[in-house]
Structure 1
């Protein structure tokens, strides 16, 4: 049974269509991420799910019960859902423990366990103007979790965080789900944040869902160039063009047009039966490897490689990487 069911949601704001016929469901404990460029309607959808904005059409069911919007409920919001905006605020000049005590409904032992899961136990005596942005975010999450929600809605949780705090937050969210039995739904304009976290990804554009699938499929078999571009660099080839590089990797499916990631290719300095000759036109160092742009007789291809010896003008041969 689905924990959350969204059916036919539509919404207009100031005469502009923001959401069109949005439908999907989410099972309990299944991590769902909604991604898309800014203005695609993600945040509005999240607020409608949480009962904070009234939809013009459609319905949201939580545990098979209608989620009331602001027109139906005196105080907007659902008692079993927690919503954290990307513009959250904490009161200034208060100790962290005071901020948490005001909202806490848990027994002391459970509250302390929650603070430990959120990696904020060492911050309790500090004032809110003495902590970083990433720490403030985890405190805001802990404050909402003291109400013991079943579904946590996070709007752009990874934005404006450095890599250290982003990785910490991923670990915290994972621990919350496993140890506290909470289901998460996040919205992000940076889909790379969702790839390693989500069980399922929804891609939105112009207020509509254009793709919904597991991360591997969304990454390797995007429905169009928009969806492909959200998740990083890609190469576009028709099926006949892709076949020139050898056997097309099974992960990319069977289709007329392929959006193939740079890591699917390999480079060699010697010709083989399934390799296409080309010339290096650019080499970019990415830290974990190199992204090499290669000019082919009739097109270009970008290849990810560990070879740091390649340089502009080198002759190379491009083929699909063989997987055991």
Structure 2
């Protein structure tokens, strides 16, 4: 196994029983991309630091290619040479050119380094000083600085958090090309579902220091274990069990008390009010490529419905039906 995280626990401090992480277990296979997802304070950054060898766990171990990853209490210099960690609070030395920073730890031949710099879109920045590059450019330089040390696992802590749209798209392209060309493993923490759903193989969800769910992006999106998991990946509607029969919803575990979760794109609206479930359009929000319609129903309260280029207006009476989509019950 490429990476094993076994029974990792971490307290806020040694004088109390308030846990940042408790009994964390998961594995990573070769060439697998994993995302950690969770609300602020869920323990994502602490877990990433422990995996990278930058923070000492209070219990449990991390094994990288069969060998234990030592924490800072177990070795003089923290970190692991096969694991690169890009913090969301990274720094670049002042008064140095980008080339000088990259040359310091470069373990690549000249041609390989030039190829890497081209992939990272920084070849035109090499002769600039660190105070002459933008935030997005600094992020790519910091990533290149890690990659020239030839790690096998890249750990990214909220890599897109402070980037504008253009620089975020460039960095996403860079990471995709690195994953394809370098055949590296990645673990990334992000709060934005659009950063994780299209890119990773597995998502691990943390809540209050515990793993509550892990699975493929499709499984996490369509089969969340609770409303917390559902809410991390976009808007959703809760359909009470009493309303399920009206929409022909069927639970996967056949419990009559199940509530259901429907994503906005799983509901369809019809511009008339002669169906089993009817409502009134409260609001229409233009969101670029689609409209989000808020419909008030007597059976389920307000529902969010996604449509492209709707002609509905606030005050319109509508019938609510179900599209042919996977259904979530919990």
Task: Please state whether the residue corresponding to 1:5 is helix, strand or coil.
Answer: strand
- The answer as to whether partners of 1:246 and 1:319 remain within 8 angstroms in 2 is no
1:307 aligns with 2:306: no
- The answer as to whether partners of 2:8 and 2:22 remain within 8 angstroms in 1 is yes
1:161 aligns with 2:160: no
Q: 1:148 aligns with which of 147, 150, 159?
A: 150
Task: Please state whether the residue corresponding to 1:165 is helix, strand or coil.
Answer: helix
Q: CA deviation at 1:271?
A: 6.0
Q: 2:83 aligns with which of 78, 81, 84?
A: 81
Q: CA deviation at 1:176?
A: 0.8
- The answer as to whether partners of 1:96 and 1:139 remain within 8 angstroms in 2 is yes
Post-superposition Cα deviations, 1:219-253, rounded to whole Å, max 9, x if no partner, equal 121111111111121101134523422456xxx95
- 1:212 match: 214
Post-superposition Cα deviations, 1:3-48, rounded to whole Å, max 9, x if no partner, equal 1000100110223311000000011111100011111111001111
RMSD (CA atoms): 1.9
Task: Please state whether the residue corresponding to 2:2 is helix, strand or coil.
Answer: strand
Post-superposition Cα deviations, 1:280-319, rounded to whole Å, max 9, x if no partner, equal 1111111111111111122221100113321111011111
C-alpha distance in 2 between matches for 1:136 and 1:94: 13
C-alpha distance in 2 between matches for 1:27 and 1:257: 35
Task: Please state whether the residue corresponding to 1:53 is helix, strand or coil.
Answer: coil
1:1-324, aligned counterparts within 5 Å? Answer: 2-14=1-13, 15=16, 16-246=18-248, 256-270=258-272, 276-299=277-300, 300-322=302-324
C-alpha distance in 1 between matches for 2:36 and 2:274: 42
- The answer as to whether partners of 1:51 and 1:78 remain within 8 angstroms in 2 is yes
Task: Please state whether the residue corresponding to 1:90 is helix, strand or coil.
Answer: coil
Unaligned runs of 5+ in 1: none
Q: CA deviation at 1:191?
A: 3.4
C-alpha distance in 2 between matches for 1:258 and 1:246: 11
- The answer as to whether partners of 2:273 and 2:317 remain within 8 angstroms in 1 is no
Post-superposition Cα deviations, 1:248-269, rounded to whole Å, max 9, x if no partner, equal 6xxx955722221101111111
C-alpha distance in 2 between matches for 1:23 and 1:244: 41
C-alpha distance in 1 between matches for 2:240 and 2:175: 40
TM, length-normalised to structure 1: 0.93
